[in-house]
């Protein structure tokens, strides 16, 4: 745990008692703040009470007694409307912060010799893979690495800091909206495409949230930014004009005179006086596809900014074991391979998976995002058949009608069974791909639970299939 500094003896309210909220409450208490907590869910309040936290109903509390409100990133700050806690805090002049901001202030309050290195990573897609990849490369180089934020452990639940540590943090746009003083040694913006617009109002608001990761960087810091989409390309132009930091553009689409880029799977370093070949990423079995090559370019650039030698960084990329729910092979039955890409919660993320295979039996659907899957029309040719689940079933069927054969399956189990029957009848090597292009909340608690349901369905298929082979 990282005890939070700067709130000693002050009353701080924590609203939202899921993973990050509880970690923040524990860390504030460890830093000797006077902590009160609240959640609209009775079960969450009971769990906090069992840990010994003081519950205070914030609907009737005296807000003038509070120094700050620590808000869960899942609670609306501005759109579609400010949450009632946000309105009460603003009326009382109470500062609203998130757990990343508490971490940033604690780092800033530490003596210089105890301050760790920070690599902060955001983007619409690829954040989790890149965060884990940077952490892996740093560990392979012998660094003391802690990985958290929007992945795994909430940042304040990580081991306490020291001057030799490296914190590798995945940051969502929701977390960045609540952060004002973080200064990463390396800030990465991988890519930006429309997502979470209901929480940011419009694309301008979403891009502004992502750009907050660069807010406090200065001389000696490094910004690693993808240039394969127009929003990020514009950000590079903006920050180049400021001339405050080292800028490393990254691309998986084109060669560049300066930066790190991947072409046809070969990673190149063009940050020095000459261009060097770094690694053949086609050998990295856990990093298939052009989108993963962009992730690798970003991880390599971050590693080099931290002083990790070129060859050590390259070896780290090639030995990365991959992440669950991100183009993860969960099993094979005969010539049919099952790939779990449950993390693909929007069409742009699903695009990365669809573009990585010549033909797929595609399981898609869930709680739909704005625009559905219409933007994927240019990839419908790789879909042998689609198997639709969840709330998006009708909308996706309408989009696919006349272009791609599809089946309305409703549930994950039914979709996996139907896809396997068709893929096995193909008679060739075949891929059954779960890449939903949707949120999971209509049928599952989160994308992890959805991915585990896919894995379980595949394993249920495997047992009778193995019996059939033995017979």
What positions carry a catalytic annotation? 127, 150, 196
The single-letter DSSP state of residue 6 is: S
In 273-344, the DSSP E strands lie at 276-280, 328-333, 336-340
Closest CA to 261 of 277, 242, 243, 240: 277
Spatial contact of 285 and 277, defined as CB atoms under 8 Å apart: no
For 50, the enclosing helix (H) or strand (E) is helix 42-50
Alpha-carbon Rg for the chain, nearest whole angstrom, is 23
Here the tokens at position 403 are 């272009």
Closest CA to 14 of 154, 143, 151, 170: 154
Tell me the C-alpha to C-alpha distance, in Å, between residue 11 and each of 34, 93, 360, 390.
Answer: 4, 14, 55, 44
Torsion of CA 437, 440, 442, 443, to 10 degrees: 120
What is the C-alpha separation between 46 and 73, in angstroms, rounded? 21
Tell me the C-alpha to C-alpha distance, in Å, between residue 266 and each of 94, 128, 188, 251, 390.
Answer: 51, 22, 21, 12, 39
Task: Name the 3-class secondary structure at 306.
Answer: coil
Q: Are strands 259-263 and 266-270 parallel, antiparallel or unpaired?
A: antiparallel
Tokens 């599952």 appear where?
444
Tell me the C-alpha to C-alpha distance, in Å, between residue 232 and each of 178, 225, 260, 280, 398.
Answer: 21, 7, 15, 26, 33
């Amino acid at each position: 745990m990282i005890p939070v500094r700067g709130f000693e003896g002050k009353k701080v309210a924590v609203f939202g008692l899921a993973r990050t909220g509880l970690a923040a409450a524990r860390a504030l208490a460890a830093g000797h703040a006077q902590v009160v907590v609240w959640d609209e869910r009775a079960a969450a309040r009971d769990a906090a009470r069992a840990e010994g936290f003081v519950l205070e109903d914030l609907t009737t509390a005296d807000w003038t007694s509070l120094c700050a409100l620590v808000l869960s990133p899942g609670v609306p700050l501005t759109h579609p409307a400010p949450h009632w806690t946000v309105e009460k805090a603003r009326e009382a002049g109470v500062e609203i912060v998130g757990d990343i901001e508490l971490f940033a202030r604690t780092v800033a309050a530490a003596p210089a010799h105890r301050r760790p290195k920070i690599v902060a990573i955001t983007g619409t897609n690829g954040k989790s893979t890149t965060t884990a990849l940077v952490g892996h490369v740093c560990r392979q180089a012998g660094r003391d690495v802690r990985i958290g934020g929007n992945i795994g452990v909430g940042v304040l639940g990580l081991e306490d800091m020291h001057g030799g540590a490296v914190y590798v943090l995945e940051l969502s746009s929701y977390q960045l909206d609540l952060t004002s003083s973080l200064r990463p040694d390396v800030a990465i913006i991988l890519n930006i495409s429309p997502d979470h617009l209901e929480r940011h109002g419009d694309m301008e608001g979403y891009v502004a949230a992502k750009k907050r990761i660069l807010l406090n960087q200065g001389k000696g810091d490094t910004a690693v930014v993808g240039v394969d989409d127009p929003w990020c390309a514009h950000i590079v132009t903006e920050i180049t004009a400021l001339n405050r930091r080292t800028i490393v553009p990254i691309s998986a689409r084109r060669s560049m005179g300066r930066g790190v880029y991947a072409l046809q799977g070969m990673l190149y370093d063009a940050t020095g006086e000459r261009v060097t070949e770094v690694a053949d990423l086609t050998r990295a079995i856990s990093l298939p596809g052009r989108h993963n090559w962009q992730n690798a370019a970003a991880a390599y650039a971050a590693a080099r900014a931290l002083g990790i030698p070129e060859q050590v960084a390259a070896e780290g990329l090639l030995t990365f074991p991959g992440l669950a729910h991100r183009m993860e092979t969960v099993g094979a039955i005969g010539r049919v391979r099952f790939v779990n890409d449950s993390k693909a919660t929007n069409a742009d993320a699903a695009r990365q998976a669809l573009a990585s295979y010549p033909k797929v039996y595609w399981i898609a659907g869930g709680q739909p995002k704005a625009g559905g899957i219409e933007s994927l029309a240019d990839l419908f040719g790789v879909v042998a058949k689609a198997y639709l689940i969840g709330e998006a079933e009708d909308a996706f069927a309408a989009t696919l009608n006349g272009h791609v054969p599809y089946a309305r399956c409703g549930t994950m189990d039914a979709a996996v069974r139907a896809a396997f029957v068709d893929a096995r009848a193909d008679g060739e090597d075949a891929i059954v791909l779960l890449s939903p292009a949707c949120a999971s909340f209509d049928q599952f608690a989160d994308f992890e639970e959805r991915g585990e349901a896919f894995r379980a369905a595949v394993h249920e298929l495997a047992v009778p299939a193995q019996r059939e082979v033995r017979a």
